Amino acid sequence: MLNFTAIDFETANSYRGSPCAVGLVRVRDGKPVDERRWLIRPPEPVDFFDSFNSMLHGIDSAMVADAPRWRHVLSAILDYIDDDVVVAHNAGFDIGVIRYACAVDNIEWPEIRFLCTMVMARRALSLPSYRLPYVVESLGAQMGDHHDPLADAHGVVTVVNALADRSGVNALADLAACQRMSIGRMSSGIYSGSVAIGSGGRNFTPIEVNTDADPSGYLYGRVVVFTGTLMSMTRDVARQECARVGAVPEQNTTKKTNVLVVGDINPAVLRPGSNVTGKARRAFDLQDKGQAIEVMTEDDFVRCLDGQPLDADADLAALLSGTASKPATRTPPRLGNLRSVPLAERPVPTPPKPPRPLRRERVVTDQVCSVDGCSQTAAFKTRSKPTYCDTHIASILKQGGLEPLESFTRPDDWLLTRCLRCDNVAHYRFVYVIDKNGWDEATCRACYWREWAQSTRALQGPYANVDVVQYEKAQEVSEEHGYIYLGPLTNPSLPDDPHRTECRRCGKISAERLGDIQFGCTCQPRK
């Protein structure tokens, strides 16, 4: 029977453990028989609302002011789920909400089995997008308002039923097996995701402990065991790294074990008597009997590999990129792609070349301005193209709708200007202004993109996207791609409207759409 509970969370801010609403739908034999929707006050340390999140789901702090806290809602959610498998679209997020919220409140993770319809859809369907509304519509159905937790939970039910019909099964376990997926499990100290089942077993490279390792190293001569999933490297690479620094990696916790490295395990339960992995439980038992076993996090382990003291103020990403407290020796930009690569073999980044300066020294010339009848000295020299004096350069800029704010240097240097129409300040090259004048087009990109966006929305009519772009979102996108955000150039700021930015690397000020900002500045080295 298709018996399960569909679930969807909404969060108050960018921290995953800030639930502000949950929707649950109980399903029996493929049919919804009950539903619940609760507003939630997030845990105290993360009890604030980002405007971007509120824009998505319409919930703000005033709406949850009288709602129960997470720690009180959790028990009601678990009572409602009972023994059901929980199904969510992008279960990594929704189950992650539970994990992270519990971590903030220092609550042990509850025991839950779960299945992910996003992973399932990727296995069963060939689509350009696997967002929930798109998947639902591709299966010939409609769903309610996206980001309403109850509507999204009903959307999950639709996906499960449709994929079960396609597969010819009528049980959730059979549907997972048909798509070669595992049903995930979370308990007090254990997390195993709902993922596609790969082929083959665990292959370990033969171990040869480095006898010439530095004896003063923190892990030298110690027996190390790993439990939980490591973020920065595979288990095999971790074992090889142990051997490199003179430690002895073992598979299981024994009386010889000195160090237990824990991966994806809730730190709130790392204490004797907790329901954790067998290796961790065995380590606590041995600790109780007097054996000196140190339980350390993955961050601590990487810090030891890098020769850093355990009380160093550094995070995992900084340690792995070699930027914690010494020059970089390795910089894995995407840890997921390099988990199987030994640390010493990870690519060493080539230091980027400094950006070309926006402006250089003016080159003196005895050439004469190319404008007929003008005898003034040109501002720049050229072999085959026209050259102009300062007076005619100002005239050409004015034709392009610009007023120069600094002296001219060279035609392909960046000149700071002010738009005579909208007053926007930005950098443009003189050769670019000449090119736009030839097309009878004003140079200012702020004016251009404002008018382009308005005309596009007019053509789209009622189908135009008029969702307001929040300042925080635009700032986040700009900063992520190397810009200082100087603000929107329309009020309100709508999709495709321009924004004013300054490149952190070269200092160029420009007016660009968010989609173009995501390509980064032209001074950035291209991969």
| pLDDT value of position 479 | 84
Q: 486: which 2 tokens?
A: 């100087």
Pairing of strands 499-503, 509-512: antiparallel
Q: Judging by DSSP bridges, how do beta strands 86-88 and 4-11 pair with one another?
A: parallel
Say which residues have a Cβ less than 8 Å from residue 289's Cβ, sequence separation at least 6: none
Q: Give dist(CA 513, CA 518) in Å, integer.
A: 9
Residue among 526, 476, 491, 485 at smallest CA distance from 509: 485
Residue found under tokens 């994806």: 264
Q: How does pLDDT run across 490-521, given as a tens digit for each residue? A: 999 999 999 999 988 888 999 999 989 988 88
pLDDT of residue 312: 46
| Crossing angle for the helix pair 235-244 and 298-305, to the nearest 10 degrees | 40
User: Which pLDDT score is estimated for 333?
Assistant: 36
pLDDT of residue 402: 96
CA 339 to chain centre: 18
The amino acid at residue 488 is: P
Give pLDDT, residue 321.
Answer: 44
Structural contact between residues 37 and 76, judged by C-beta atoms closer than 8 angstroms: no
What kind and span of H or E run contains 250? Answer: strand 248-250
Domain ranges of the chain: 4-192, 223-345, 446-517
Convert the pLDDT of each residue in 199-243 to its tens digit.
444 556 677 888 788 877 888 888 998 887 776 788 888 888 998
Residue 155: Cβ within 10 Å count? 28
Task: Profile the chain (527 residues) by mean pLDDT over runs of 10 residues.
Answer: 93 88 96 95 90 86 94 94 93 88 87 91 77 87 84 95 92 89 81 62 68 81 83 82 89 84 62 57 73 77 71 44 40 48 68 79 94 95 93 96 94 94 94 94 95 91 89 86 89 93 89 90 69
Annotation: CATH topology of 4-192: Nucleotidyltransferase; domain 5 (3.30.420)
Residue 335 token pair: 């840890």
Q: What is the pLDDT of residue 326?
A: 38
Write down the pLDDT at residue 375. 95
Instruction: For 284-298, write each residue's pLDDT tens digit.
Output: 777 777 777 787 777
Q: Does 3.40.50.10330 match the CATH number of domain 223-345?
A: no
pLDDT at 246: 87
Helix (H) or strand (E) holding 10: strand 4-11
